[in-house]
Amino acid sequence: MILIDSLYINDSGGLELLKYLVEYFESNSKIYAYYLFDSRCSEVFSDIPKTRKTILKASQFNRYKFYNKNITKFDKIFCFGNTPPIKKTAAIVYTYFHNINFLIIPQDISLKIKILIKLKLQYIKILKRNTDFWIVQTDNTKNALVQNFNEKKSKILILPFFKIEELRNEVSLLKTDYIFVAIYQKPKNHFNLIRAWSILFDLGFTPTLHITLSKMPEELNQLISECITRGVKIVNHGFIPKTDLRKLYSISKATIYPSINESLGLGIVEALNYGCDLIGADLPYIHSISNPSAVFNPYNVNTIVDAVIKYESGVCPKSNLKVNNEIDNLLDLFK
């Protein structure tokens, strides 16, 4: 039997990937999986039989008790939340590492957050002896894992996976807008993007920017409100269902990605699959998954402005994606 350990996965992109993984595993008759779910998303997986899941409040103590009780039950284990098992097992263990912020710590975060990240990273390093393989989504994450954990490259498998739904008849013949799909996190760099859009407006460039912020600091909310009051074309849709999101992609000619770190950048994958171009930060994560149309220094607002103006001039090449959905190859590990 296979264990999918997803404790601590409860929201955002991690939960979307987990839902896709569970859906795919459940549809395959050659896999018999048992799931360890975080109690904060128990309703999401209510259709999984009680005989094949355990739901726990996320804590390392609860995780330890679960492994201690079930140590001999599983042939293979897939840890989905960055952290290997808390105990060494006889099973073959794969650990999915997807939080790049543990490996490449953003420059402009507080000292307290930096210390917490470094403590978590040290904890994962202690447990790394309990995994046989790491699974990552990009070369960028693999290289960071090798550098930080001193791991052999042969232990790190690059297997990106993602679910992209077709646009069907929703593609617009006139794609004029820009889009950045992301919840608020400081490394997503929303402040610099909004400031750049304000400068573009002052320079006479007035394309519409679509964003998807449901929760944000008051300072950012105020900045966006001030821009909109001035006439800057920014539309904040908040949390948006997938159906409506596809409609936004259908009218957007480019996604603009100012993030400092990304493990994959699902918004990039979605946008490029839906025919958008990419204007992105000139950082390894961008180049590991795509050939962007234009790049900028994410720490310098003026370079974001310059990249958009250059793209608007029509001289930039078409963007393309360099990664494929390898869910079938991932599945093969557990058959």
pLDDT of the residue at 232? 97
- Range 172-189 average pLDDT: 88
Look at 173-177, 205-209, 278-282 and tell me which has the smallest mean pLDDT.
173-177
Give 133 or 114, the one with higher predicted confidence. 133
In this structure, the strands spanning 92-96 and 76-79 are parallel
* CA 94 remoteness from chain centre: 19
pLDDT tens digits along 252-278: 999 999 999 888 888 999 999 989 999
pLDDT of the residue at 167? 54
Question: Residues in the chain, how many?
Answer: 335
pLDDT of the residue at 111? 83
Asked whether the predicted pLDDT for residue 169 surpasses 70, the reply is: no
Asked whether the predicted pLDDT for residue 172 surpasses 70, the reply is: no
| DSSP letter, residue 72 | T
pLDDT of the residue at 279? 98
pLDDT of the residue at 242? 82
Angle between the N-to-C axes of helices 242-251 and 266-273, in degrees from 0 to 180, rounded to the nearest 10 = 60
Mean of the per-residue pLDDT values of the chain: 91
Asked whether the predicted pLDDT for residue 106 surpasses 80, the reply is: no
Cα distances (angstroms) measured from residue 297 to each of 100, 110, 130, 259, 304 = 19, 21, 39, 10, 7
Distance separating alpha carbons of residues 203 and 78, to the nearest angstrom: 51
Distance separating alpha carbons of residues 66 and 86, to the nearest angstrom: 10
Asked whether the predicted pLDDT for residue 173 surpasses 70, the reply is: no
pLDDT of the residue at 170? 54
pLDDT tens digits along 23-73: 999 998 788 899 999 999 989 999 999 999 999 999 999 999 999 999 899
Phi, psi of 157 (to 5 degrees): -100, 130
Helix/strand/coil for 252: strand
The tokens describing 31, both together, are 């896999």
Adjacent-strand bridge partners of 76: 2, 92
Q: Report the largest interatomic distance among the alpha carbons of the chain, rounded to a whole angstrom.
A: 66
Adjacent-strand bridge partners of 55: 37
pLDDT tens digits along 116-132: 888 988 999 999 999 99
Asked whether the predicted pLDDT for residue 243 surpasses 90, the reply is: no
Distance separating alpha carbons of residues 27 and 39, to the nearest angstrom: 23
Domains of the chain: 2-158 (3.40.50.2000), 177-321 (3.40.50.2000)
The gap between the terminal CA atoms of the chain, to the nearest Å, is: 10
Give 16 or 234, the one with higher predicted confidence. 234
pLDDT of the residue at 76? 96
The tokens describing 279, both together, are 């204007």
The tokens describing 191, both together, are 């402040």
Q: Check the CA dihedral 39-43-45-49 and report its sign.
A: positive
pLDDT of the residue at 166? 62
**Cβ-proximal residues to 126 (8 Å cutoff; 6+ apart), any chain:** none
Looking up tokens 């790491």 gives 134
